[in-house]
Structure 1
């Protein structure tokens, strides 16, 4: 694992169906599909969380899944939960706002003061990272410099995943393959965002490892960005 001078090393970890989907349909919780992960794969997910300093998901994932993002199935310390939420409009009663693990909500300077204040009243840290929206490169720099985060994992939805890849902030990807096809042209897939214009813009992956974890295939990749040496 290469040490980076200005940001944490980032692992993207996700379960996906055979057709690359994260949920059954738009707006559905990913927890529905995660019920079908083998127990060994659940242990792998929680073991990975315990190995990382922080875990990040997008605010929309919190709204839909209301995840805890803690280490529960194996011994270990829960990582810092980081939620980018530019306008601080995260549900104030979300599970990540609880005291079972530390949480930081990243907002922008334009976030309404009353919402920011409500978050702070919950005992949750607020990080200001950008003027009109959360700037992910700045957020990761703050996480490393001020919070000592050297290893960050993301369990994001398609929007966060796309922005992280678009900003060249992801170093590794670990996929848990679920043997299902769900279809749907608007069903969320691993990466959303804008279309690319040519094959020169494709982000290439170097397969470095694959193995069975219980009944699930797991694949691990290094991320190779266009123009990178």
Structure 2
């Protein structure tokens, strides 16, 4: 019997060649207002959002729910106005002066003992979680399975993952992703050093996660693809 965990949806915008940023790792602002509205909707239906430190460092902020209809729906559902925002990082090398720490959201840190050392006696994060992963084959020092199982115990039923590619790779590798929303934007970034939707070491074809296409939407020049991950 499978241990309960939240439903996990990856939500990312990418260039037509699958890049989530350029080779300089600049903040990815190539999505349109329609993509931003789509992202806000996915955040609004989540109980929590999860993203890596590189993603946070690139933007310095997180996207909050501001649409009045979405806020009303959350309120009518008995939820806080904003979902919980969880940063996952091994070293937790984050500038405490960035605007993220002034935004009106609850902030948690999922990290290692090393990453927790700087933040433990500070007020920026409401909770600091450490779930050790000592498995030799794991790409991360954080036990994602244990973390998601804990999230389920505290009522997090829907988790939106907002990047980056290394985190998505680790979660796919451990069969922790249920759905993906990918926005294909009309530009080509190229570059072997430009991050893609899925980073990490990659998968051989026989072991690659398979997807089922659930929905395709086209708004102006962007294509919104909704996939379900086919479970092995």
Q: TM-score, normalised by structure 2?
A: 0.84
Equivalent residue of 2:121, what SS? helix
User: Matched residues in 1 for 2:22 and 2:118: separation?
Assistant: 36
Which stretch shows the higher mean deviation, 87-96 or 153-162?
A: 87-96
Which stretch shows the higher mean deviation, 133-142 or 163-172?
A: 133-142
**Runs of 4+ with >6 A deviation:** none
Please say if residues 109 and 131 of structure 1, whose CA atoms lie closer than 8 Å, have aligned partners that are also in contact.
no
Specify every segment of 5 or more residues in structure 1 that has no aligned partner in the other structure, as ranges: none
Specify every segment of 5 or more residues in structure 2 that has no aligned partner in the other structure, as ranges: 72-80, 135-140
Alignment of 1:176-187 (within 5 A): 176-187=183-194
Please say if residues 23 and 187 of structure 1, whose CA atoms lie closer than 8 Å, have aligned partners that are also in contact.
yes
Q: TM-score, normalised by structure 1?
A: 0.86
User: In the alignment, which residue of structure 2 is the partner of 1:140?
Assistant: 148
Among 60, 70, 86, the alignment partner of 2:90 is: 86
Alignment of 1:123-138 (within 5 A): 124-130=126-132, 133-138=141-146
Among 191, 210, 213, the alignment partner of 2:216 is: 210
Please say if residues 54 and 82 of structure 1, whose CA atoms lie closer than 8 Å, have aligned partners that are also in contact.
yes
Please say if residues 41 and 214 of structure 1, whose CA atoms lie closer than 8 Å, have aligned partners that are also in contact.
no
User: Matched residues in 1 for 2:103 and 2:196: separation?
Assistant: 31
Mapped pair 1:21 → 2:15: no
Aligned length: 215
User: In the alignment, which residue of structure 1 is the partner of 2:117?
Assistant: 113
CA RMSD of superposed structures (Å): 2.0
| CA apart distance, 1:105 | 0.6
| CA apart distance, 1:210 | 0.4
Q: Deviations over 1:204-229 (max 9, x none)?
A: 1111110123442111111124xx1x
User: In the alignment, which residue of structure 2 is the partner of 1:40?
Assistant: 34
